[in-house]
Amino acid sequence: MADRPLIGVSTYLESGARWGVWELEAALLPAGYPRLVQRAGGLAVMLPPDAPERAAATVARLDGLVIAGGPDVEPVRYGADPDPRTGPPAPARDAWELALVGAALAARVPLLGICRGMQLLNVALGGTLVQHVEGHVEAVGVIGRHPVKPVPGTLYAGVVPEETSVPTYHHQAVDRLGTGLTASAHAADGTVEAVELPSGQGGWVLGVQWHPEMGEDVRVMRALVEAAGDS
């Protein structure tokens, strides 16, 4: 790929990050995300949180966008009361990443949501979430694996046509699908594992519930990079 597409990946702020003698607030992103973008043929750029009104200008500089995994989406965003098992809210991050999603959809910039990113895409389009799914986190801080089956005829099935085992860590899931979204993969228990906008409704848009940056399969990210190169 002569001109590698520029892929932005959302990051988040954490206080108390330490390196050397310093302990400061930092914009963080697990290294698996940029490494996966690079392995898939793209150039990775980290997007630190910013004012939501700057999202459109940010997305305009990108060829593709990844919304990374992270904390639970604040339930007020989809009109629900918080479940006691829902994590603490991150309203600034929600606002920034929802603005990024909206800007990417408006500009038809290829978009991939990963775990929280998929859930946020669903919420951005008016969908809701199941706030706690029993048994989907094997142990705190431990990535599990389970099979995911594609829905024939979908964008996702065109990228990964076979049932495959994926690295996963989540306790929330899609409930009511957002406007225009279709489910394109499921777990054995019926949990929605991928969502997408059908071709022609918003460019290349895919969300996956698992964490491809924690595995070896680059096909989903490569598909994003190729779509970014064509856009």
pLDDT above 90: residue 117: yes
State the Cα–Cα distance between residues 118 and 129, nearest whole angstrom.
11
Active site residues: 115, 211, 213
Does residue 73 lie in a domain region?
yes
- Look at residue 139 in the predicted model and tell me its pLDDT: 46
Does residue 19 lie in a domain region?
no
Instruction: Give backbone dihedrals phi and psi of 106, rounded to 5 degrees, phi first.
Output: -65, -35
Domains in the chain: how many in total? 1
How many CB atoms sit inside 10 A of residue 143's CB?
Answer: 15
More confident: 80 or 87: 80
Does residue 1 lie in a domain region?
no
Weakest-pLDDT range from 59-68, 70-79, 101-110, 155-164:
70-79
CATH number at residue 185: 3.40.50.880
